[in-house]
Amino acid sequence: MPKKPFRVGMIGYGFMGRAHSNAYRQVGQFFPSNHQVVLKAACARNKDAIQAFADQWGYESIETDWRKLVERPDIDAVDICTPNNLHCEIALAAAANKKMILCEKPLAMNAEEGRKMVQAVEAAGVANIVWYNYRRVPAVTLAKQLVAEGRLGKIFHYRAKFLQDWTISPELPQGGNGLWRLDAAVAGSGVSGDLLAHCIDTAVWLNGRMSNVCAMTETFIKERKHQETGQVQKVTIDDACTFFGTFENGSLANFESTRYARGHKALYTLEINGENASIAWDLHDLQRLQYFDHRTESKLRGWSSIHVTDSDHPYMGKWWVPGLAVGYDTSFTHQVADFLEGIEQGNPAGPTFRDAMDTQVVLDAILTSAKSKQWVNVDKA
Amino acid sequence: MPKKPFRVGMIGYGFMGRAHSNAYRQVGQFFPSNHQVVLKAACARNKDAIQAFADQWGYESIETDWRKLVERPDIDAVDICTPNNLHCEIALAAAANKKMILCEKPLAMNAEEGRKMVQAVEAAGVANIVWYNYRRVPAVTLAKQLVAEGRLGKIFHYRAKFLQDWTISPELPQGGNGLWRLDAAVAGSGVSGDLLAHCIDTAVWLNGRMSNVCAMTETFIKERKHQETGQVQKVTIDDACTFFGTFENGSLANFESTRYARGHKALYTLEINGENASIAWDLHDLQRLQYFDHRTESKLRGWSSIHVTDSDHPYMGKWWVPGLAVGYDTSFTHQVADFLEGIEQGNPAGPTFRDAMDTQVVLDAILTSAKSKQWVNVDKA
Amino acid sequence: MPKKPFRVGMIGYGFMGRAHSNAYRQVGQFFPSNHQVVLKAACARNKDAIQAFADQWGYESIETDWRKLVERPDIDAVDICTPNNLHCEIALAAAANKKMILCEKPLAMNAEEGRKMVQAVEAAGVANIVWYNYRRVPAVTLAKQLVAEGRLGKIFHYRAKFLQDWTISPELPQGGNGLWRLDAAVAGSGVSGDLLAHCIDTAVWLNGRMSNVCAMTETFIKERKHQETGQVQKVTIDDACTFFGTFENGSLANFESTRYARGHKALYTLEINGENASIAWDLHDLQRLQYFDHRTESKLRGWSSIHVTDSDHPYMGKWWVPGLAVGYDTSFTHQVADFLEGIEQGNPAGPTFRDAMDTQVVLDAILTSAKSKQWVNVDKA
Amino acid sequence: MPKKPFRVGMIGYGFMGRAHSNAYRQVGQFFPSNHQVVLKAACARNKDAIQAFADQWGYESIETDWRKLVERPDIDAVDICTPNNLHCEIALAAAANKKMILCEKPLAMNAEEGRKMVQAVEAAGVANIVWYNYRRVPAVTLAKQLVAEGRLGKIFHYRAKFLQDWTISPELPQGGNGLWRLDAAVAGSGVSGDLLAHCIDTAVWLNGRMSNVCAMTETFIKERKHQETGQVQKVTIDDACTFFGTFENGSLANFESTRYARGHKALYTLEINGENASIAWDLHDLQRLQYFDHRTESKLRGWSSIHVTDSDHPYMGKWWVPGLAVGYDTSFTHQVADFLEGIEQGNPAGPTFRDAMDTQVVLDAILTSAKSKQWVNVDKA
């Protein structure tokens, strides 16, 4: 039986454009399905750059205007890999054209934009997903299984950090190519939207919605030269953001993110403490899940380091043999695999745009809290 | 030349009474000085219990009324190991009797009491110290050396946690023998005074005073049976306390403590992120200091796990040979060694009562903040 | 400029067939070169199986007789992924047909076969390489750089282990599909050829040739049912093999491999102790290299855990961003990248068949020693 | 009821003299028994040195001739902390005087001496023990419990290493004060008697006797200046020793020791792989035991890091509270506690001299094997 084509139109060609393209190319070999991914078109304003990208990754054609791309009848799904300030506009147009949408995180610049996007995809009835890829790191998916099976009991604490150190030098410019994440006008925020968004998404997935938060942000380097204009300008993103608060299930949150934690490249860590068991994971050793079970015989209790590479671990049966790690990139491959399986079964995989709103409202609350120096209730998604 | 006696009167015989007594007995063999510790008297209301304690540890005599002990002319130094609510009264009396004082942490129930104690010892001109013993874990002392040598550069973040899991069962009673830490009337507070006090003391020692804080506390189990009365009563201590804030040097604080973190027995962790280097330590692997130096050649950069057992590491030249760990108990021995050396040189070792006020004012600010749900400035010590 | 095709003929479709195919598909996107890999044909006796494999991986055609494949004029390179007992025959035929050859490890059943293969490829003047893929795990390649830069000084010890636990059950059959590694007639040997071969290859690459060895082997389960015949037969492979010996540079070897080390899935570990520095690595945490430098200031000395994910680490600049791990599979991708670069520059990448003989002669010596219970000198390669 | 005195006569005042003395002073406070240790006399040829030692540790008197000490009627037990070449002679004399004997390890220079010592103490009917202290590190004692409870099932592998790096410099002299371990005439051997003796003792305790061995030794630095004579002399100790072999239970041994493993101060590691479970431990993190249980539900299997500090862990209920580590020194305290309990109950604690012979015969076999380059059967103890 011939496979059904899944024709992708990719907008953007940066780090995420590469990560997604790799996933599209790998998924069929490891997670065969009734769909065949076709890299139909890649789009960016810079024609030479996007042509080179298309050649390297095997896209059949290019566009330099995203509006054209979203209107093309030979595209089934639009992948939005642009800076954050374009997500909403493109998503609305893609939905209007009945395209499936795979949108980079965070969903939007703020909850207001996000709600428009949810409305648009739901009105259009198109499958939609946000690239919160860490849900599909096998060890994190295993954590979800353990939580879902009720192994932890009542949850008391959820703790997450995302620590980096790449913006410590005051010589680093802001804005423009490769550095738009330092420009609040384009990125919406600093570490909160870039890094905490991941932590919050995993948290609401594993532990449910948040009720209220209290946050602190800091911008250590106050002014930087703008890469494009050459002018020294005020930095308006948050370099660091810490918040605590409560989940709807009564557990306490402690979250922190910074780009000023010397020695940590991309150290996303999470820990959940339940009445009966606890779980911990970190991105630098992504193949391991730490698990402590209080029901173990007393003298043998300890944190168990599970090397999540067995064939009965999530996704791992499709890759190599026990003991052999997969890379960061497979989290994207798993997302595409689940997305294709979802549309095949008419049961779309999350996080959908609607799911992603749970994170978006927390992000808004954090920024409001940090500005007002007050506790803030999290809005309904 | 005969040694000068240092005659100790110990009040209390619990966990800390044992830890201090062990230190007094060990110090002379490993850190010989001009003083000879003499265990002169031990004191507690329960005569049988204190007699047994005195016999076991070699105290020459007992008292059942601490007022008598602090007046005895054959006592040079009073060691206060009682529950927190007695620290102030005993210290004032001991100072009035010109005794040196070694007081368990936290110094007092609150800053107000603490100030009276500072005034008393300074007016009396007696040497005084608080048992914030973690300063003298060799790896923590090494951290202090590295900070003092300026190796970290400008500090961005200070992070500390103290996680335990021993009060999760709702069947655990509160109050009374061995459980006074769950009784706010006796302990003053819950994890903040018991555990965060340690974290804050180390922090102000390593990173300077704090300016302001914002805190959240929680009491997970609302009612417990009181061990002595047998009645079910409201629990008024904090089971968990998280706070963030800023240090005077501009760095950000993120502190957390709880007795509901399943899997952690006494996991005190700290991490400092500076412009040039970072440091991390934890109590479960207390002999190791983690150090990251950004000035290392790029491709070799990593977190170095220093096994702090070499003869040029703090205190370690006096113990065994490289590679062989010392125990938790040696932190107390080191404190006695430094205290004796300090009085010999007329240069008292800290943390003095005055030093300990830096922690006390932060503790007050945290509790005020948690109650009011507002940011609170830290008072002058 | 159009790229030059590199038309691959793959023989075999098991675990290694998949790993190599994945590498061929990925190399162009991450390590672009003047060559374009073309998956021209896949070959195995089972027609349905090889057709399915070809469909899944994108091979243009299939063969069911390897002799036909090696004669096809539209094939540039033959990839030998068969069980070990076919390596030699296929390689000789492929060389006779002037094909480049990429041969799975170990090179051959024994040194005698290996020498014929070396002679064949060198006489034919065809590029050749053996899939000792661990050389190209970024952390291992970094280890090679550090050794080559002379950072370790005189070497005293080289230690390696490869521990697995998958054959402990006596119910596991031997021989046949998926289990040919347990059949000495097909595999040549047990853990020595399968696992120690990797350890030895890395060792001779990092530390030079070996002079002599003394080995012990053991077969814990003496009889197993054969999967194909259904008959209980004597097990003739080595389940475990330990050996020590000396390298030509005077350092001491301690190697061990087993499939009976409960708790270890594929734990390849290595450690080198030099006068000035030491290195350690293991496959379960493959992205990290442990490095100890004695020249570091005394009080700061420790084992540094290098997360080998920076852009100046071997191969890593081509993948994602710092902190993000790559998988086991990339070691094969790197090998293809280096092989293509080598043929482009007329400077073939190793390990060539000749290089692989250094391992083959050690393997022969080990098996001879274990049988004779004597020290054995390692033959000239 | 008054306690029974246990009057110790200590011969030697080096590192072990200090470690034992500390144990004698601590045991009564933490492990109260019917015996009261009395530090009756310390003995060494150097009068000033032994007087200073006696003063520091509280010995009541001194001797400068060990023959006088062993004859003193006010001594109950003789502790032999001299270099190895004196163990036998002193032990024979002490036994002849009906003294209990606590002898430093290794028991003797060789098995022949050892047998005489066994005969002497058994003929005299005196309690006797050898200071193989690592048996009583709480995590190692826990390992013994787990093995004794049959949790591991059939054992396949026993692996141990003892790695140090303190003799790498060729400038280090040999012989004399503090360096007698480098002088074969005094020490008997190098790392085999000093370090492997510990590994072997733990092994025979946990896994039973050994049947045969095959060993390799090396002396990296061939000549060193003698500290006392000032002359450059041949080094005759083994700097490194590796051996493999079999235990009587059929499991395989792989042991290694060296003083040339840069980066390791005193890294004693052991691992046991059984059919159902595995255990690992190392001295640098002595408070932890690693445990892997294959019977755990498949997806949760992992190595569990047990922080051996709970009150139901061996010995730990007598020390502090969960989470707080004890030091290396407590292994000696535990040995004294067990020894006193043993003599009280007429059931002497091991390892007795007879027990220690199991190690002595393996040591002899190793040295014979290394010299002859042959496999050697281990003699009857």
pLDDT digits (tens, 9 = 90+) for B32-80: 999 999 999 999 999 999 999 999 999 999 999 999 999 999 999 999 9
Question: For position A184, what pLDDT does the model report?
Answer: 87
Distances from the Cα of A345 to the Cα of A34, A125, A127, A349, angstroms: 11, 15, 12, 10
Mutate to test the interface with A, among C31, C56, C140, C265 (most CBs of A within 10 A): C265
Measured in angstroms, the CA of C264 and the nearest CA of chain D are apart by 9
- Asked if D56 and B29 come within 8 Å (Cβ–Cβ), the reply is yes
Distances from the Cα of C324 to the Cα of A284, C55, C309, angstroms: 7, 31, 6
Contacts of B156 in chain A (CB under 8 A): 168, 220, 240, 258, 260-262
Phi, psi of B13 (to 5 degrees): -150, 25
In chain A, % helix, strand, coil (3-state, to 5) comes to 40, 25, 35
- Asked if B291 and C307 come within 8 Å (Cβ–Cβ), the reply is no
Q: Taking Cα atoms as reference points, which of C69, C78, C66 lies closest to residue C126? A: C78
CB B164 within 8 A of CB B262: no
Question: D305 to chain A: nearest residue by CA?
Answer: A302
Measured in angstroms, the CA of B299 and the nearest CA of chain C are apart by 6
D300 contacts: CB under 8 Å, gap ≥ 6: A146, A291, A293, A304, A306
Contacts of D288 in chain A (CB under 8 A): 302
Confidence of residue C376 (pLDDT cuts 50, 70, 90): very high
Question: For position C309, what pLDDT does the model report?
Answer: 98
pLDDT in tens, B86-120: 999 999 999 999 999 999 999 999 999 999 999 99
Measured in angstroms, the CA of C213 and the nearest CA of chain D are apart by 10
Helices (H), chain A: 15-30, 47-57, 66-71, 87-96, 111-124, 138-148, 184-187, 191, 197-207, 330-345, 353-372
Per DSSP, the three-state class of B44 is coil
User: Over 90: is that where the pLDDT of B261 sits?
Assistant: yes
pTM of the predicted protein model: 0.97
Phi, psi of B116 (to 5 degrees): -60, -40
Read off the tokens for C297. 């200031």
**Cis peptide leading into residue D2 (ω within 30°):** no
Read off the tokens for B148. 């003092």
Confidence of residue A190 (pLDDT cuts 50, 70, 90): very high
Question: For position D183, what pLDDT does the model report?
Answer: 87
Question: For position B125, what pLDDT does the model report?
Answer: 97
- Asked if A302 and D300 come within 8 Å (Cβ–Cβ), the reply is no
- Asked if C216 and D214 come within 8 Å (Cβ–Cβ), the reply is yes
User: Over 80: is that where the pLDDT of A1 sits?
Assistant: no
> Of A222-231, B203-212, B231-240, which has the strongest mean pLDDT?
B203-212
User: Over 80: is that where the pLDDT of A178 sits?
Assistant: no
Rounded distance, CA D32 to CA A27, Å? Answer: 67
pLDDT in tens, B237-257: 999 999 999 999 999 999 999
Question: For position C175, what pLDDT does the model report?
Answer: 85
Q: What is the pLDDT along chain D (381 residues), one digit of tens a residue?
A: 689 999 999 999 999 999 999 999 999 999 999 999 999 999 999 999 999 999 999 999 999 999 999 999 999 999 999 999 999 999 999 999 999 999 999 999 999 999 999 999 999 999 999 999 999 999 999 999 999 999 999 999 999 999 999 999 999 999 877 788 888 888 888 999 999 999 999 999 999 999 999 999 999 999 999 988 889 999 999 999 999 999 999 999 999 999 999 999 999 999 999 999 999 999 999 999 999 999 999 999 999 999 999 999 999 999 999 999 999 999 999 999 999 999 999 998 999 999 999 999 999 999 999 999 999 999 998
Question: For position C266, what pLDDT does the model report?
Answer: 97
Question: For position B35, what pLDDT does the model report?
Answer: 96
- Asked if C263 and D273 come within 8 Å (Cβ–Cβ), the reply is yes
Helices (H), chain C: 15-30, 47-57, 66-71, 87-96, 111-124, 138-148, 184-187, 191, 197-207, 330-345, 353-372
Rounded distance, CA D253 to CA C141, Å? Answer: 31
- Asked if D275 and C262 come within 8 Å (Cβ–Cβ), the reply is yes
Read off the tokens for B176. 């009374």
Q: Taking Cα atoms as reference points, which of D306, D344, D286 lies closest to residue D135? A: D286
Rounded distance, CA B8 to CA B11, Å? Answer: 10
Which residues are A153's β-sheet partners? Answer: none
By the 10 Å C-beta count (0-12 exposed, 13-18 middle, 19+ buried), A211 is classed as: middle
Number of H helices, E strands in chain B: 11, 17
Contacts of C377 in chain D (CB under 8 A): none
Confidence of residue A307 (pLDDT cuts 50, 70, 90): very high
| Strand order through the sheet with B35-43 | B61-63, B35-43, B4-11, B77-80, B100-103, B128-130
Rounded distance, CA C258 to CA A258, Å? Answer: 45
Question: For position B184, what pLDDT does the model report?
Answer: 86
Read off the tokens for A212. 């209220």
Per DSSP, the three-state class of A381 is coil
In chain D, % helix, strand, coil (3-state, to 5) comes to 40, 25, 35
Q: In this complex, which of A157, A168, A216 lies closest to B214 when CB atoms are compared?
A: A216
CB B181 within 8 A of CB B175: no
Question: What long-range pairs does B360-363 form, CB within 8 A, spacing at least 24?
Answer: B360/B106, B360/B107, B360/B108, B360/B110, B360/B111, B360/B114, B361/B111, B362/B200, B362/B204, B362/B210, B362/B213, B363/B106, B363/B110, B363/B111, B363/B189, B363/B192, B363/B193, B363/B196, B363/B197, B363/B200
Which residues are D7's β-sheet partners? Answer: D38
Which of B118-132, B293-307, C169-183, D129-143 is the least confident region? C169-183
Mean pLDDT of chain C: 97
CB D128 within 8 A of CB D100: yes
Measured in angstroms, the CA of C299 and the nearest CA of chain B are apart by 6
pLDDT in tens, D220-278: 999 999 988 889 999 999 999 999 999 999 999 999 999 999 999 999 999 999 999 99
| ipTM metric | 0.96
User: Over 80: is that where the pLDDT of A245 sits?
Assistant: yes
Rounded distance, CA D214 to CA B350, Å? Answer: 58
Phi, psi of B159 (to 5 degrees): -130, 130
Question: A55 to chain C: nearest residue by CA?
Answer: C29
Per DSSP, the three-state class of A108 is coil
Mean pLDDT of chain A: 97
pLDDT in tens, A28-38: 999 999 999 99
In chain B, % helix, strand, coil (3-state, to 5) comes to 40, 25, 35
Give how far the C-alpha of residue A186 lies from the chain's centroid of Cα atoms, to the nearest Å: 17
- Asked if B304 and C306 come within 8 Å (Cβ–Cβ), the reply is no
Q: Taking Cα atoms as reference points, which of D5, D109, D81, D2 lies closest to residue D340? A: D5
Rounded distance, CA D343 to CA D128, Å? Answer: 10
User: Over 90: is that where the pLDDT of C177 sits?
Assistant: no
A321 contacts: CB under 8 Å, gap ≥ 6: C15, C265, C266
Question: For position A175, what pLDDT does the model report?
Answer: 85
Per DSSP, the three-state class of B118 is helix
Q: What is the DSSP string of B269-337?
A: EEEEEESSEEEEEEGGGTTEEEEEETTS-GGG--EEEEE--STTSTTGGGSS-TTPPPPTTHHHHHHHH
Rounded distance, CA B310 to CA C238, Å? Answer: 43
In eight-state DSSP terms, residue B248 is: T
pLDDT in tens, C178-204: 788 888 888 888 999 999 999 999 999
Question: For position A228, what pLDDT does the model report?
Answer: 86
Contacts of B145 in chain C (CB under 8 A): 299
Rounded distance, CA C33 to CA C6, Å? Answer: 11
- Asked if B330 and D327 come within 8 Å (Cβ–Cβ), the reply is yes
Q: In this complex, which of D18, D29, D327 lies closest to B327 when CB atoms are compared?
A: D327
Question: For position D344, what pLDDT does the model report?
Answer: 93
